[in-house]
Amino acid sequence: MKPIATFHSPLTSKFGIPRQSGIVEGLEGEIVFQQEYRNPDYVRGLEGFDYIWLLWGFSANSHVAHSATVRPPLLGGNQAMGVFATRSPYRPNPIGLSSVRIVRIDLDDTRGPVIHVSGADLMDGTPIFDIKPYVEYADSHVGVRSGFVDQREWKCLDVVFVEGVGECLDDDDREVVTRLLSLDPRPHFHDDPQRVYGMPFRNFDIRFRVEGRKLLVVEIAKLS
């Protein structure tokens, strides 16, 4: 397979990427097609859909997955599950599947048709292998079981910006950053209240530390 498009996002590293699509609805990104697919005919009729499926590659994974089990963050990293019973990025074939909302389709962009979407869990530069429309009657299954996900509730952190920090972000970006950080982007085995982490977002480095259930944004530095 070869990529048909590249995803562009304000998140330029794996750190901070939402663990599922749709849980940070305000996070927007762009789908920019490869040169050979920059023909409006490829997206003809797509304006009539609200959601699309993206098939994409975990391009930032540096090693090949061989294990039959993984330790989902939702279970605190303490319990192993079969890789095919999870959405872990470490899989025999590093392929991701995400449902994202279409914000608009720009046919006049100089880069060809550009699809603006929200709620994606893809980092900047992710290769996209296919796009399919989301069809409610076939793709929506209400009231079904979701395995161990039904048994554990993801507990969000309380995000607090230290006084004077965050003024460089506009209201929309601040809301998105707050939501991203509330999901606790740290590795599940980290629990050092003095450790300062950095999450790249656009041209900023969002620096924070976690004390119990409170996440403190202590600095926002401009990236060079």
Global pTM value = 0.92
Distance of alpha carbon 7 from alpha carbon 127, whole angstroms: 6
Examine residue 101 and state whether it is found in any structural domain, yes or no: yes
Examine residue 70 and state whether it is found in any structural domain, yes or no: yes
Q: Model confidence over 151-197: pLDDT tens digits? A: 877 789 999 999 989 899 999 999 999 999 999 999 877 888 899 99
Same domain, 131 and 203: no
Same domain, 118 and 203: no
Given the DSSP bridges, would you call strands 204-211 and 197-201 parallel, antiparallel or unpaired?
antiparallel
Apex 23 CA angle, 101 and 145, nearest 5: 100
Examine residue 52 and state whether it is found in any structural domain, yes or no: yes
Same domain, 10 and 71: yes
Examine residue 144 and state whether it is found in any structural domain, yes or no: no
Same domain, 119 and 20: yes
Same domain, 42 and 126: yes
* Full domain range(s) for residue 209: 158-222
Same domain, 32 and 130: yes
**SS3 (DSSP) at 222:** strand
A 10 A CB-CB count for 127 gives 18
Sign of CA dihedral 207, 71, 18, 215: negative
Examine residue 166 and state whether it is found in any structural domain, yes or no: yes
Same domain, 113 and 34: yes
End of a domain among 92, 109, 139? 139
- The CATH number that applies at residue 26 is 2.40.30.70
Domain count, the chain: 2
Q: Model confidence over 130-154: pLDDT tens digits? A: 999 999 999 999 999 999 888 877 7
What's the pLDDT score for residue 62?
A: 66
Comparing 213 with 77, the larger pLDDT belongs to 213
Please choose, from the candidates 33, 145, 27, the residue with its C-alpha nearest in 3D space to the C-alpha of residue 85. 145
Same domain, 83 and 34: yes
Same domain, 30 and 77: yes
Same domain, 35 and 120: yes
